[in-house]
Structure 1
Amino acid sequence: MISGTIIKGIGGFYYVDTGEHVYECRARGRFRKDKIIPLVGDIVDIEINDSSKQGYILNIHERRNQLQRPLVANIDQVIIVFAIKRPDINIGLLEKFLVYSEYVGVNVVVCLNKIDLDENNEVQPIIDMLSSVPYDYICTSSLKNIGIDELKNKLKGKVSVFAGPSGAGKSSLLNSISPGLSLKTGDLSRKTERGTHTTRHAELIKLISGGMVVDTPGFTSFDLVDIKEEELQYLFPEFQKHVNCRYPSCMHYKEPECGVKKALEKGNINPMRYEHYIQMLCDLMKNRRY
C-alpha cells in the first residue's frame, strides 16, 4: 500500500500521483456505499496491481478543507480571477466568491486580469473595496506580461485553486506562468460577451515555478445555498470591529442604533461592500426554507 494525491478524476477513474508515478485507480465499492466521493487534492492510500499497474483507492485521509465549487480538497488558497473587461467584471459575483471563501476558511488572492484593457481606470473602485477589508489582490495581463512574476511568487510552495467566470483568462494566466502547460484557451462569444468553457474538469497541475494549481471550469453564476442569513455578517470581516449595536441579534439592516451602519456613515466601511451585504442578506431571506 502506498500514498499519493489525486490530481484528476474522470468517469470513475482517479489519477493518483505518488511522487514517482501517476497511477490510474478506481475507488473501492465501500466508498459508493458510504456515499463518499474521492476529490482532486485528496491524500489517499492505494493498492497497485503489479501486472496492470492500475490500482484501487483503499483509504482517504482526513481533509484539511473542502470546496463545493469547485469540488476540490486540501488547498492552501483560492486565486479568484476576474477580467476587468471582455467580459465586464461582475462585482456581485466577485463578492459571492469572497463570502464563500470566508465560509470555508480558505485564504484568498483576487486577480484582476486583462488590466491592459482598463483605459478609464475602472479598476480603482474595486481596488478601494478590496483594500478596505483588506483582501490581497494582483492586477495582471498575460498579453502585456503585467503582474505575472508577482502571481508566480504567490503560488510558490502552495496548492492553489484558480476559480472565476468563463472568459476571465485563467488558462491564459497559467500558460504565462508555466508555458509548457499549453492549456486550451477560448474566445468570447460575440453575442453574449461571455467566455467559452475551455476547462472541462478540475485537475491538479504542477508549475515549473513551484507550487500546484487546480484549473477549474468557469461559470457565470454562484449561489450561497449553504449559508444561513444569520451567519452572513460574520463573513464580512470588516464588520466585526463595529458590532457595538444596541441589539445583540442585530443583522445590520433595518435595526436602529446599529454599529455597522454608524461605521458606514463615518466612512469606515466601504459602501459597495455594505450594499452587496444587503443584497445577499435579502436573497437569503427570500430563499429561506422552512
Structure 2
Amino acid sequence: MATGKITKALSGFYYVQNEEGLFQCRGRGNFRKRQIKPLVGDEVEFEAENATDGYVLDVFERKNELIRPPIVNVDQAILVFSALEPDFSPLLLDKFLVHIEANQISALIVISKIDLLSEKLRSEINDYKELYESIGYTVLLTSTLQSDGMNDILPFLDGKISVVAGQSGVGKSSLLNYLKPDLNIETNAISSHLGRGKHTTRHVELLPIGKGLVADTPGFSSLDFVDIAIEDLSMYFPEMARLSVVCKFRGCTHTSEPKCAVKAAFDRGEIAQTRLDHYYQFLEEIKNQKKRY
C-alpha cells in the first residue's frame, strides 16, 4: 500500500500527494461507522489504480487538529490581521492565539495593509507589535502594495506545514498571491457597507510555497472556546503561564484568589491591560458556554 499526505478535500474527494504524484481518492466505506473523517494534512495509507481512482484506507495518528479551519498536523499558524480595513482587532487576535497555543502550534503574527496607516495609527500598531514581541511572538508589518515586509515571511515557511488564518478581508489571499504569483487566488475588496471582506476561499488546501506547505483557509470572524477548561485558559497566555506555577493555589484563575502571581505582575506593569481584559472576557465566555450543556 502507498502512503501520502492529503493536500485538499473537496466534494467528497481527498487529493493525496506523495513522491509519485497527486491521487484523487474517496474515503474507505467503513470510515463513517468508525467515526473517521480524513482531513487536509492527514498522513494516510491509500491505494489507487490510477491518478483519479483511489481509496484512502487508513488515517495515521495526528499530532494536532484544528476545527475551524479543519486541518491537522500543523506546525505553524500565520495569523494575518489588517492594520486597517478592517480595523486591527487585538481581541480577535488574542482569541486566535489562545486556540493556537491550546493546540501547541507556533504562531507568526502578520499585520497587513500598513500602507493605509496615518502617522498616529502607525504608532499604535507599533505599540501592539512591541507588546506581542515582548510576550514572545514574532510580528511582521507588511504591505502587498508596497512590498513592505513580504519577503521576510518566506524563511518562516521552510520545512513546515503552515496555516494562514484570520478574519475575512485582511489580505490572506493577497499575501499568498504575492509569495507565489502563479496561484492566482481570487481576492475581493472590502465591503464599505459591512466593513468586512467577502469569503474568497471556500475550502482548505495545502499549497507548496517556498520550501514548505501553506494552507489557504476559509475566512472566519469568530471562535468558540470548545474543549478549553476554565482552569487551563491562562496556560494559553504565555506571559501568564510562566507565572501560574508560582500562584499560591493550583488551578488559580487569577480572579479573586489570594497571593496570585499574575495579578501581582499586572500591578507591577508586567502584564498589559488589554491582555488581562481579554483573558477575563474569555473566562466569562467559557463559563457561559458550559452553562448551555
TM-score of the aligned structures, taking structure 2 as reference length = 0.94
**Residue 256 of structure 1: CA displacement?**
3.1
**Residue 246 of structure 1: CA displacement?**
3.5
Distance in 1, matches of 2:189 and 2:226, equals: 31
2:79 maps to which residue? 80
Cα distance change of structure 1 residues 98 and 55 upon mapping to structure 2, 3 Å threshold = same
Q: Which amino acid aligns with 2:171?
A: G
Distance in 1, matches of 2:93 and 2:17, equals: 33
Q: Is 1:272 aligned to residue 267 of structure 2?
A: no
1:255 maps to which residue? 257
Q: Are the counterparts in 2 of residues 23 and 54 from structure 1 also a CA contact under 8 Å?
A: yes
Distance in 1, matches of 2:170 and 2:193, equals: 17
**Residue 118 of structure 1: CA displacement?**
2.0
**Residue 145 of structure 1: CA displacement?**
0.3
1:149 maps to which residue? 151
1:116 maps to which residue? 115
Question: What are structure 1's unaligned runs of at least 5 residues?
Answer: none
Identity of aligned pairs, percent? Answer: 43
2:57 maps to which residue? 58
SS state of the match for residue 40, structure 1?
Answer: coil
**Superposition map of 1:1-290 within 5 A:** 1-50=1-50, 53-119=52-118, 120=120, 121=122, 122-207=124-209, 209-243=210-244, 244-289=246-291
Cα distance change of structure 1 residues 248 and 212 upon mapping to structure 2, 3 Å threshold = closer
RMSD: 1.5
Q: Which amino acid aligns with 2:229?
A: K
Distance in 1, matches of 2:107 and 2:256, equals: 30
SS state of the match for residue 153, structure 2?
Answer: helix
Distance in 2, matches of 1:82 and 1:270, equals: 20
**Residue 128 of structure 1: CA displacement?**
2.8
Q: Which amino acid aligns with 1:227?
A: I
SS state of the match for residue 59, structure 1?
Answer: strand
**Residue 267 of structure 1: CA displacement?**
1.1
**Residue 275 of structure 1: CA displacement?**
1.1
SS state of the match for residue 135, structure 2?
Answer: coil
SS state of the match for residue 221, structure 2?
Answer: coil
**Residue 132 of structure 1: CA displacement?**
2.7
Q: Which amino acid aligns with 1:153?
A: P
Distance in 2, matches of 1:84 and 1:67, equals: 25
Q: Are the counterparts in 2 of residues 129 and 273 from structure 1 also a CA contact under 8 Å?
A: no
Deviations, residues 150-188 of structure 1 (Å, cap 9, x unaligned)? 101111221100000000100100111111111111111
Q: Which is worse superposed, 82-91 or 256-265?
A: 256-265
Deviations, residues 184-204 of structure 1 (Å, cap 9, x unaligned)? 111111101100100000001
Q: Are the counterparts in 2 of residues 7 and 203 from structure 1 also a CA contact under 8 Å?
A: yes
**Residue 53 of structure 1: CA displacement?**
4.2
Distance in 2, matches of 1:266 and 1:288, equals: 33
Q: Are the counterparts in 2 of residues 132 and 269 from structure 1 also a CA contact under 8 Å?
A: no
**Residue 102 of structure 1: CA displacement?**
0.8
Cα distance change of structure 1 residues 271 and 26 upon mapping to structure 2, 3 Å threshold = same
SS state of the match for residue 249, structure 2?
Answer: coil
Cα distance change of structure 1 residues 287 and 65 upon mapping to structure 2, 3 Å threshold = closer
Distance in 2, matches of 1:81 and 1:199, equals: 15
SS state of the match for residue 204, structure 1?
Answer: strand
Q: Are the counterparts in 2 of residues 110 and 135 from structure 1 also a CA contact under 8 Å?
A: yes
Q: Which amino acid aligns with 2:19?
A: G
Cα distance change of structure 1 residues 11 and 242 upon mapping to structure 2, 3 Å threshold = same
TM-score of the aligned structures, taking structure 1 as reference length = 0.95
Distance in 1, matches of 2:61 and 2:242, equals: 34
Matched length: 288
Distance in 2, matches of 1:129 and 1:283, equals: 24
Q: Are the counterparts in 2 of residues 66 and 74 from structure 1 also a CA contact under 8 Å?
A: yes
Distance in 2, matches of 1:249 and 1:76, equals: 28
Q: Are the counterparts in 2 of residues 129 and 272 from structure 1 also a CA contact under 8 Å?
A: no
